[in-house]
Amino acid sequence: MAGYLPKPVSEFHKIPNARIAIIAAMWHPQCVDAMIARAQNELMALDVRPEDISVHKIPGSLELPFAARCLFESDASLDAIIAFGVVLKGSTTHDDSVIQTVVDGFSRVSDRFHKPVINEVIGVNTIDDARARADDSIANKGVEAVFAVSELLHWKKSCLLDISDAA
């Protein structure tokens, strides 16, 4: 169930000077936009400046890995990407192939650029399931995305400091 994080929001790592791109599918804008807004607010609470957060709307979830690759290629100073989308289960298996393609694509992009792509493209049975993950509570996927990005960027910085200390 959404909304259970390993630590409270008040203990998220501050990530000042981080440059974050948010990419989002245009489908189901009420839910996706609520996730984006929550992520932006949570990032700013972690000392990320508004001008260091860019938002890019992409036609659909299938196109998000391509957008992630293009952003990393065009901006080497970008630290991470957060991706949002809602994929509704239908009467065919299209939703399964969309989700798997997105997961595989983000993995390839992250491996290629050695930077995190936080995947919050959610597969749901109903739009009400998506609304429950885009509401004003801690279950909003924007909170989970910011938790992941703050942990990874903090960890990466710590590892790099440890390596330079050893040298």
Q: How far, in Å, CA of 46 to CA of 23, rounded? A: 19
Q: In what order do the strands lie in the sheet with 20-25?
A: 53-58, 20-25, 80-88, 117-124
Q: List the catalytic residues.
A: 94
Work out the end-to-end distance of the chain between its first and last CA atoms, rounded to an integer number of angstroms. 44
CA angle in degrees (0–180, nearest 5) for 49-52-57: 125
Non-local (6+) Cβ contacts of 2 within 8 A are 132, 133, 139, 141, 144
